[in-house]
Structure 1
Amino acid sequence: MSNRLARTLSILGHPLLSLPVAALLLAGNDGAGATRLSVLALGLGVIAIGVMAYSHWQVRRNRWQHVDASDRGERRTLNRFLLALFSAAAVIAWMLSPQREFALGLGLSALLVAAAMLSARWCKLSLHVAFAMYAAMLLVQLSWLACATGVAFAGAVAWSRLVLARHVPRDLVAGAVAGLLAGIGFWRLLPFVAA
């Protein structure tokens, strides 16, 4: 039972789900029109499909054992792809959208991946936990209760990654700290990019 729950939490806490849900909740709370929400959802969907397609392509080419990219070499390849994807998406969002929040969020997502790459020598920073915590910190604009719920969810995702033996506690703490810093950075930088 605990493995099934852990697997479910790990899937629900996947970075391609947790961050987009937070972004859509924030955009909906901002009174964004249906068109803006649709464009945001479409952009996030394209990113998610791109990552899934890339992962499946690597497995089909027998370069990866599983789409989870748990092996060190698989993770390195995936992180390079994610860094390029988030960076390109941030630049495109910056150039095409008058609302700079999305570009800032994508840029900070790229920095989270870069942090995972830079810390790979010392730990396997959990991007699941990093993005779940980042999403939780973004929800502070909705309410403190939404943020606290997000932090509790990030804790549940951390537990799931530990139970599934994908990470050790050091990796989870590193991910939580990175996500926390990205969330704080978003709110500190937002007045400068929105101006």
Structure 2
Amino acid sequence: MSVAIIIALRLANRAGLAVLLTLLATVVVPMALLLFRGSRSGRWSDPDVSIRAERVRFYPCAIPISVMAVIALWLLRAPAFALRGAVVTLLLLVVAALVNFRIKLSLHALFAFYSAIILFVVQPLIGAIAFTVAVLVFWSRLYLGRHNLLEMLLGASLGLLGGLVTAW
């Protein structure tokens, strides 16, 4: 979604709208449906896919959704930064899936910090607010007992790295 926000902030024309709608159609809606249906059907216990063993069923569905977004943006001849963001998002999901064989990193922290870095480059004030929210997400996932400190640090670190690669 952070890539969609960048499109909206950087492109105020038809191309920007086309990219934004493409991201909504290929990533946001399919991922929301995946999470909703997965928790509703019992494939996983909650929309967060909080149990590591359940993520084994999540990633094989989420990664192709991300692949479709990359393909759609490439076919649309989207701006390089939008395509780069989609590719980095895909790579982050692949890394998270591989790491999941050992530990369950925090996808919440990963994407919160990823988005915050990108937003900071686009609009520093909004990015600073997003970074504050990311820190609160980090704290809340620890407080709720969804993750341990290592899982949170790994997710946040990957998100920061992905954000830097995407934004610069």
Q: TM-score, normalised by structure 1?
A: 0.75
Matched, 1:166 2:160: no
CA shift for structure 1 position 118: 1.7
Rounded Cα–Cα distance in structure 1 between residues aligned with 2:5 and 2:51: 33
1:126 aligned to which of 96, 106, 111: 106
Letter of the 2:106 counterpart: S
Aligned-CA RMSD value: 2.1
Aligned residues: 167
Rounded Cα–Cα distance in structure 2 between residues aligned with 1:137 and 1:56: 28
Letter of the 1:44 counterpart: L
Q: Which residue of 2 aligns with 1:43?
A: 22
CA shift for structure 1 position 31: 4.3
Letter of the 2:137 counterpart: V
Q: Which residue of 1 aligns with 2:50?
A: 70
CA shift for structure 1 position 146: 3.3
Q: 5+ unaligned residues in a row in structure 2: which ranges? A: none
User: What does residue range 98-113 of structure 1 map to in structure 2 within 5 Å?
Assistant: 98-113=78-93
Q: 5+ unaligned residues in a row in structure 1: which ranges? A: 1-19, 189-195
1:52 aligned to which of 26, 29, 32: 32
**Percent of pairs with identical residues:** 28
Contact 2:52 2:103 in 1 (8 A): no
Contact 2:81 2:167 in 1 (8 A): no
CA shift for structure 1 position 138: 0.8
CA shift for structure 1 position 41: 3.3
Segments of 4+ in structure 1 off by > 6 A?
Answer: none
CA shift for structure 1 position 114: 1.3
Contact 2:114 2:163 in 1 (8 A): yes
Cα 1:32–1:75 change in 2 (3 A) is: same
Contact 1:129 1:175 in 2 (8 A): yes
Matched, 1:141 2:121: yes
Rounded Cα–Cα distance in structure 2 between residues aligned with 1:151 and 1:56: 27
Rounded Cα–Cα distance in structure 2 between residues aligned with 1:38 and 1:143: 19
CA shift for structure 1 position 156: 0.7
Rounded Cα–Cα distance in structure 2 between residues aligned with 1:31 and 1:116: 30
Summarize deviations over 1:169-190 as a string: whole Å, max 9, x none: 11111111101111111134xx
User: What does residue range 58-97 of structure 1 map to in structure 2 within 5 Å?
Assistant: 58-97=38-77
Letter of the 2:105 counterpart: L
Instruction: Using the TM superposition, name which of 69-78 and 138-147 deviates more.
Output: 138-147
Rounded Cα–Cα distance in structure 2 between residues aligned with 1:55 and 1:144: 31
Q: Which residue of 2 aligns with 1:114?
A: 94
Q: TM-score, normalised by structure 2?
A: 0.85
Rounded Cα–Cα distance in structure 1 between residues aligned with 2:4 and 2:51: 32
